[in-house]
Structure 1
Amino acid sequence: MRLKSFHAKSMSEAMRMVRQALGDDAIIVATREEEGGGVRVTAAVEEDDLVMASARAPHHAPPKPIIVEEPEIDVGEVVADVLHRHGVPAALSEQLIDAAASLDTDDPQLALGAALDSMFTFSPLHDKRTGNKPLILVGPPGGGKTLVVAKLAAQAVFKKRKVGVITTDTVRAGGMEQLAAFTRLMKIKLATVEDPDALAGAFEVNRGCDVVLVDTAGRNPYDREEMADLKALLAAGVAEPILVLPAGMDALEAADIAQSFKALGVRRMLITRLDMARRLGSLLGTAHRARMAFCNASVSSKVAEGLTPLNPMAFARLMMPPEAKAARAAAKTSPSKTKAVRSSSSRTIP
């Protein structure tokens, strides 16, 4: 048996490379997401299959049909069911189903991940590709910005990186005190600012830090005055604004909120409260309508349990967790059912 690994930017591109190099008889042995981006797929093929494929000519007799089992599940139906259960908007759901169906695999989770990869952008915080530009967390009230700042600071401290934390949340009762309690525990100095000029000064003070994080007060996306104040804070362009949005919202409402912050230059979206949401369709609808990239997610209210970087397969696992896959496997068609007859050249890559 011949084994070979392929690295590509997306799962569908990796599958094409497998077919080109090893042919249609190849089987997938393992898949994983790479830290620097992209995916790595390990495929295998019998040496005899390679010899037969290269030696086969028109005058040769066609290979004898062999009996192989049809896929025991309909991947398209499984993906459609998952999207329906999560409340994905109909038009978006149809596009994702079409993308999933174009991938030759009998693994619904893999098909869903490839479909997400084809339609959405995933760009985790502090990734090598995005650098260590200061981050300013923005969003509607109650989204969890302060907790996200604490989690990011804790992750950086754990990696022995120098951290600077700034807050502009001087209005909300207890907002500054909550963040101050977190930073004291981590022995981080907290800078408090009230206007854009003071924020620029705080950035200068923290210039030597590896990670600089800014917590802001929640803003009503429909209040022009509040959004104008936020726009003034972002005007310096020193920090990248990250939208912090909780899961479980109405799809249209969440999309409207995201578009309001998109108008201020926000390009990435961080999801919170995933531990309290079971339907994620609104998140996909929001990212699609606002043309925003997913970065990270918070799945716990505990500071010690940090943020999870999001990528297509990670999101697919959130929508189709292992226990759901196990339940579907148990409900597969019985092996005793009639098997179809195919030629060896018609096999697809699992």
Structure 2
Amino acid sequence: MLEARTYRAESIQAALLLAKAELGPDAVILDVRHLEPRHLLGGPAVVELVAAPGSPAVQRGPGTPGIPAIPAIGDPVVLGLTALGLSPRFAAELVQAYRQGKGPSRDLRRVLAARIAEYITVAPWLPLGGRMILALVGPTGVGKTTTALKLAAAARTDGFAVQLISCGGDEAHDARSETLARSFGLPFTRAANGVELQRALRMTSGQLVLIDTAGANPFDPRAIAALEGVLASEHVIVALTLSVGGDLEETLEAARRYAPLRPRALILTKLDETRRPGLALGLAERLARPLLALTTGTRIPDDLVSASTPALTELAAWTLERLERRAAVRPPS
């Protein structure tokens, strides 16, 4: 049996270089995982990579005739996906599905969708068959207010009774939110604290109630605790709202700090403000919460995409095509 060895570095690429320097260019990458920073604030992210010397005993065979074998983790396209946060297994299966689906008489979207559905759960945000109270929480600047307005406007267009509640924001923020809400004909109310929020919830009969919370610094335990107190109700579904335009590890770390709020859903915003929208796939997989919606701009409610496997499939296909093109023109090392 070949001995597996573990390497740690600040990135997958750096860890891979260490492994190949010691084990040779044919080293087989067995696993990759992202470790939490060692320090509460400012600690560097660490990647742990497990590899073994190349050998026919551990190399994959040619696979089923006509269907590409699952690519190695060292495949440049797989590396590109893992850099977007996808697990090595999910990344390798997506690349296999993409290459399989591009063959003659293959349905690319179908095979990609089958893989995505195994790793990412999507859920409806419309209150089908009942009432839904959805509270959007997340860091300042991720677009919670705009997203809440988009969801409310889209739901109203579909015939649902909606209610917007701005909770815990400052006076200027609430005034701007109310002006926007009124301009779209959306019912709006303010709640300064948990007591007022509970009163507002009792007074509304809206099928979809959207609670827009003030941005909370995820690294300030007091801010998280205060928000937890405001939203302390079993009827409120907390939706963690994050931008895909930031650093992957910092975004994941921020998400972990919202754990006391027990978020049961995920909304990802600002896919239009990054050159790596594929991060949405990695975040959705890594955070393991049902994905409700994606936002792609500031227009209300137009720049809103309800999360679905077909929508994620289009995003995956675009990302894979881009990574394959980049790998094809990369000069050999």
1: CA distance between counterparts of 2:280 and 2:96?
Answer: 22
1:124-163 alignment to 2 at 5 Å?
Answer: 124-126=124-126, 128=128, 131-163=130-162
Match of 1:51 in 2: none
2:202 equivalent to 1:204: yes
Look up the SS of the partner of 1:321 in the other structure: helix
1:275 to 269, 272, 287: 272
Match of 2:190 in 1: 192
CA contact (8 A) 2:85 2:281 kept: no
2: CA distance between counterparts of 1:104 and 1:189?
Answer: 49
Once the two structures are TM-superposed, the CA of residue 83 in structure 1 deviates from its matched residue by 5.0
After superposition, the C-alpha distances for 1:130-150 in whole angstroms (9 at most, x for unaligned) are x53111111000010000111
Q: Which moved more, 1:90-99 or 1:134-143?
A: 90-99
Look up the SS of the partner of 2:209 in the other structure: strand
Q: Which amino acid aligns with 2:174?
A: M
Look up the SS of the partner of 2:226 in the other structure: helix
2:254 equivalent to 1:246: no
Q: Relative to structure 1, is the Cα distance of residues 103 and 153 closer, same or farther in structure 2, using a 3 angstrom cutoff?
A: closer
Look up the SS of the partner of 2:293 in the other structure: strand
Q: Which amino acid aligns with 2:152?
A: A
Match of 1:46 in 2: none
**Structure 2: stretches of 5+ with no match in the other structure:** 1-64, 103-107, 329-333
Q: Relative to structure 1, is the Cα distance of residues 309 and 127 closer, same or farther in structure 2, using a 3 angstrom cutoff?
A: farther
Q: Relative to structure 1, is the Cα distance of residues 81 and 315 closer, same or farther in structure 2, using a 3 angstrom cutoff?
A: farther
Q: Relative to structure 1, is the Cα distance of residues 135 and 233 closer, same or farther in structure 2, using a 3 angstrom cutoff?
A: same
CA contact (8 A) 2:167 2:191 kept: yes
CA contact (8 A) 1:100 1:114 kept: no
Match of 1:37 in 2: none
Q: Which amino acid aligns with 1:142?
A: G
After superposition, the C-alpha distances for 1:1-53 in whole angstroms (9 at most, x for unaligned) are xxxxxxxxxxxxxxxxxxxxxxxxxxxxxxxxxxxxxxxxxxxxxxxxxxxxx
How many matched pairs? 255
2: CA distance between counterparts of 1:103 and 1:82?
Answer: 11
After superposition, the C-alpha distances for 1:266-296 in whole angstroms (9 at most, x for unaligned) are 0211011011123145434433333222111
CA contact (8 A) 1:86 1:280 kept: no
Match of 2:38 in 1: none
CA contact (8 A) 1:100 1:115 kept: no
Q: Relative to structure 1, is the Cα distance of residues 321 and 127 closer, same or farther in structure 2, using a 3 angstrom cutoff?
A: farther
CA contact (8 A) 1:280 1:319 kept: no
Match of 2:8 in 1: none
After superposition, the C-alpha distances for 1:189-245 in whole angstroms (9 at most, x for unaligned) are 321111111100000111x21221111100011101100111001212232111111
CA contact (8 A) 1:168 1:194 kept: yes
Match of 2:45 in 1: none
1: CA distance between counterparts of 2:127 and 2:116?
Answer: 20
TM-score in terms of structure 2 length: 0.66
Match of 1:229 in 2: 226
Match of 2:297 in 1: 300
**Structure 1: stretches of 5+ with no match in the other structure:** 1-69, 332-350
2:106 equivalent to 1:106: no
Higher relative contact order (CA 8 A, sep 6+): 1
1: CA distance between counterparts of 2:251 and 2:234?
Answer: 25
TM-score in terms of structure 1 length: 0.63
Q: Relative to structure 1, is the Cα distance of residues 304 and 120 closer, same or farther in structure 2, using a 3 angstrom cutoff?
A: closer
Once the two structures are TM-superposed, the CA of residue 112 in structure 1 deviates from its matched residue by 3.0
2: CA distance between counterparts of 1:305 and 1:82?
Answer: 32
After superposition, the C-alpha distances for 1:279-316 in whole angstroms (9 at most, x for unaligned) are 14543443333322211101121013052112233112
2:116 equivalent to 1:121: no
Match of 2:164 in 1: 165
Match of 2:54 in 1: none
Which is greater in Rg? 1
2:217 equivalent to 1:220: yes
Once the two structures are TM-superposed, the CA of residue 87 in structure 1 deviates from its matched residue by 5.1
Q: Relative to structure 1, is the Cα distance of residues 262 and 114 closer, same or farther in structure 2, using a 3 angstrom cutoff?
A: farther
CA RMSD of aligned residues (A): 3.3
2: CA distance between counterparts of 1:322 and 1:311?
Answer: 17
2:91 equivalent to 1:96: yes
Match of 1:313 in 2: 310
1: CA distance between counterparts of 2:120 and 2:186?
Answer: 36
2: CA distance between counterparts of 1:185 and 1:284?
Answer: 34
1: CA distance between counterparts of 2:321 and 2:84?
Answer: 22
Once the two structures are TM-superposed, the CA of residue 105 in structure 1 deviates from its matched residue by 4.7
CA contact (8 A) 1:252 1:286 kept: no
1:73-92 alignment to 2 at 5 Å?
Answer: 83-86=78-81, 88=83, 92=87
1: CA distance between counterparts of 2:183 and 2:274?
Answer: 30
2: CA distance between counterparts of 1:127 and 1:82?
Answer: 39
Q: Which amino acid aligns with 1:96?
A: A
